[in-house]
Structure formats: C-alpha cells, structure tokens
Amino acid sequence: MRLAARDVLRAVREREAYANLVLPGLLRERRISGRDAALATELTYGSCRSLGLLDAVIAAGAGRPVDEIDGPLLDVLRLGVYQLLRTRIGAHAAVDTSVALARTEFGAGKAGFVNAVLRRAGEKSVDEWVDELAPRDPVGRLAFEFAHPVWIAQAFADALGARAGELRDVLAADDARPIVHLVARPGDITAEELALVTGGEEGKWSPYAVYLDGGGDPGKLEPVREGMAAVQDEGSQLVALALTRAELDGPDNGRWLDLCAGPGGKAALLGAIAAIDGHRVDAVEPAEHRAELVRKTVHDLPVDVHVADGRNSGLTPGYDRILVDAPCTGLGALRRRPEARWRRTPADVAELVVLQRELLAAAWDLLRPGGVVLYSTCSPHLLETVAVVVDAARRTGAIQLDTRDLLPGVPDIGDGPGAQLWPHRHGTDAMFLAALRKPLE
C-alpha cells in the first residue's frame, strides 16, 4: 500500500498528474483492494492535501529547505511524516516502513537520512509543530494548521464576510475526505430507489441526491453501470436545478444551453429534466476529448454536443435558459482534488476572470429577451463570483434574480442576490450561483 502511495506522489510531483486519476488505475493494476486500498487512498490523498505542513516539518527536521532534498526521497519523507502526524499508524511502523522504502531504492546512506528526519518529526505532535512553525497572524496560522496556502484561506475569509469566524470550519471541512454523492437520473430512478439499491442515504438539498458513506468504487454499482445514476456533487446538482427553476418572462420554448459542458454531469441532469417536457439541450465544449466525455454521459438524452469555444460558438441566439458553469480556480472543490491547492496561484484568478466575463457576455448574446442565464463557479473567490456578476449586470442591464429562491429549503446561502454553498454548512462543494434575466425589449 505504501509503495502504491509513494508511486502516486511521485507521479504528482514529476508529471503534475492528478492523484484521483492515477491512484484508482494503479490499485486495479496491482490488485490492491479492501482495507489495503483504503489505506493506500488515505495515505495518498492525505499526503497530497497536507503538503505545506509536511514540507515545513521536513525542513525543520532536515535542517534544510525541501527544494534541496532529492524529489524521490522527498516523496518517501512526505509519506512518512503524514503517517506520523496525521494518522493513527504507530510511530515505529511509520518510520520503519519509510526507511525500508528508502533503503530499497537509494541504499543505506539515504535510508539513514530518512530515519533521522522522521525521528525528529516524531518528537512533537502535530499541534506542537503548528505552535512552533505556523505564522503568528490568525489567517496564516489556520492556513498552516489545515494545510492551505495563505492566499486561499484569505479568499475564503473574504467570501465569508461577516461570518469569517467560520474560517476554521471551512478549512477543516476542506481538509477532510468527502463522502461520495450520487445523482439519480430523473425519469429512470428516484433518489429513494437509488438509496435502497446502493445502501446510501437520500440527500438533504437536491431531490436527486444520494450520499454514499464508506469506501468502494461507485462505478461498480449497478445503477451507475447502467446509466441510471452517476457520481455528482450535490452542489452541482443544485446548480442545474436552479437553472430549470428560474422564472422566465414569457413561455419556455424548450431551448436550453450548457455553454461550458465538459465533462457532462450538469448537461446530463439538464438533459434528463428537459426530456420530461420534450425540451432539448445544446452542450458546448471546446476540447474534443472532453466533448467525447460529454457525448458518453448524455448518449441517450435530448442533448446535442457541439465542439466549439463558448465565446464564439456559432449557435443561433434565442435560448430560454443558459448555464455558464465557467472554468475557474476550483477553490470550492479542493477536498476532491487533493493536490490542487498547491498548484493554483493568485495569478490564475486574474486570467480566469477574463475568460469568465467573456463567456458570460457570449451567453447574454445567445439569450432571448425574458430568458435566464445562470452563472456558476466551483469557487467562492469574490473576484470569480460576485465581481463577475455585478460587472455583467452593470454592462447589460440584467435583472438579478434572488438566486436563493431557486434553492428552496437550503439555509445559510448568503445575503443574495447570488447564493454561495459551503462544505462546512451544506456538505457540498463551495459552489457559487447567480441568475440573471434579460429584460424584454
């Protein structure tokens, strides 16, 4: 299990691979299952999430910066320190197995170095290391304790606004492994039926959501294999549902558009809902390989997939409902992408905001008067959310709907007119959504 985890950490470091894509295939290839697979998963994802904290402790134990330590050796150290500080694995086992990994690949000398660093790391508890190494300011300390870059923790605090005292809860929720959410495809299976078949629990907020607690590959579940259900965060389900619930000015003619469709989860839910009333959905995705994923996801639904740039799609205007689930930093889904927090930088925000504004402007041009565009991001960063919507409303004269009305029964989603979901409040990714209606001409 530790060798598998070490190999994934190496792929993440050397090739900028995604742990959640590499690990499942590696477990299948090596026929690792059950409790061993669960341990490999915990060690891999936990080490990726905790990188900043681990590296600070390693540097303190080694007496040198981590960038002066050979990469393959650093992978072993990160794995060892994670076990020492953030699992219930005994110190003896954590050290001995890590030393053995180093000795097998690098020889006795470097194994001795690993042994020395890990023994120093194990001399203090994680709380004692936090007290010693964390920045003194409140946001910096929380960011260090819960292994987030400071700029991301600050972005969360800014988005929480008057409730910034919840920052600890947000970061803690972000640092925990999330449960799997399934979506029951409307018209094929109900959430109640899906929960009974899978042993899951019906969701709190989406009428199609089911929660799966525990390990295992959800792709092996019969309803998922047969296309009656899929893995989809409940927050993403709520985004698609909000678009369908928005009040139009005039009739719904059944022309819906998902302008940023890849990999297809929201397009599939929209398509299943559209099919009930005889409507159709156009789905736009610029990359062919991702467009193919959309096609597979929506293959038996009234969804037409177009390979095009959403900013210049070539589609005929006149849509009743348009979803702009814009490319973003993904800061709201860091718990599902363990290494992502260490790859993003503040510079990414400025670049993405330009794209987000352009996509929303393109959607506006495709929307009929009286129609609604729903803008969403899987990020709570104010520049990607409120600022984009306010700018669009100012430029277009859009009518901002109270998006909270489109999420009935969901509490604590902000002061409006947009809505913000949070992992610590709702158990979802931190999705932002805002609905804009085009005035009648």
**Rounded CA separation 344/77 (Å):** 23
User: Which CA distances in Å does 425 have to 128, 221, 429?
Assistant: 29, 28, 10
Cβ atoms within 10 Å of 165's Cβ, excluding its own: 9
435 is in an annotated binding site: no
266 is in an annotated binding site: yes
Is 378 one of the annotated active-site residues of the chain?
yes
Of 27, 378, 413, 419, the active-site residue reads 378
Closest CA relative to residue 270, chosen from 194, 349, 188, 186: 186
3-state secondary structure 43-76: HHHHHHHCHHHHHHHHHHHHCCCHHHCCHHHHHH
8 Å CB contact between 370 and 247: no
> Please, which residues have CB within 8 angstroms of residue 27's CB and are 6 or more apart in sequence?
4, 33, 37, 40, 41
8 Å CB contact between 47 and 79: yes
90 is in an annotated binding site: no
Give alpha helix (H) positions in 122-209: 126-133, 138-145, 150-160, 167-174, 191-198
288 is in an annotated binding site: no
328 is in an annotated binding site: no
Length of the chain: 441
102 is in an annotated binding site: no
**Rounded CA separation 36/48 (Å):** 18
**Rounded CA separation 32/249 (Å):** 56
Q: Which residues are annotated as a binding site for S-adenosyl-L-methionine?
A: 260-266, 285, 309, 325
Q: Which residues are catalytic?
A: 378
Q: Which residues are annotated as a binding site?
A: 260-266, 285, 309, 325
